[in-house]
Amino acid sequence: MTSTIPDPIRAAAKLVSPDAPQALERRIKHDVFKSISRVKPAAAEGVDFEQDVMSGQFFEQLPPPLQGIAIARTEGVLAFYNRVGWSSAFLDASLDECVPEEGLDPLRDRYHATSLHDLAYVHPKHFEKMLGKAGAAALWESLKRFAESKV
């Protein structure tokens, strides 16, 4: 970013993965950019991902409602990895590694989820609605075991 304001997405990635935050930062910024592009395509027109998005300039220039998308997604990532633990394997792991069959279609259709990392953008209450309390609890435990197994 060109201003003196620290990049909050970069800071969040460093909190989650202090030793190697680059991959997580890139992924969060990519996901947020895609979300904003779906909501307001005009906001993404002519934007260079490397120059504008990765530097943080894109997010600085957004109106507050669209900045809210970035904030919500970033807070979701922090809460998710605080709950289950961090492993870079989450970024590419398929949903079916931990998600029960009945949760796959709703996550893919409603939340555009394709990897375990994408679960960070789903509010925990939505897992309970999809899977029931016991199913959601089992999912959280499965995600924790996944993180521990990849360390």
Q: Please, are residues 8 and 74 in contact by the beta-carbon 8 Å criterion? A: yes
pLDDT digits (tens, 9 = 90+) for 20-45: 999 999 999 999 999 999 999 999 99
Predicted confidence (pLDDT) at residue 8 exceeds the cutoff of 70: yes
Q: What is the arithmetic mean of pLDDT over 106-126?
A: 96
84, 143 in Cβ contact below 8 A? yes
Amino acid at 26: R
The set of residues, in sequence order, having a beta carbon less than 8 Å from that of 147 and lying 6+ positions away, is 84, 85, 86, 87, 89, 90
Cα 139 vs. chain centroid, distance in angstroms? Answer: 17
pLDDT band at 151 (very low <50, low <70, confident <90, very high): confident
Helix (H, G, I), strand (E, B) or coil at 96: helix
Q: What is the mean pLDDT of the chain?
A: 95
- At 4 the pLDDT is 64
For residue 2, pLDDT beyond 90:
no
What is the pLDDT at residue 1?
45
pLDDT score of 73:
96
Q: What is the DSSP letter of 61?
A: T
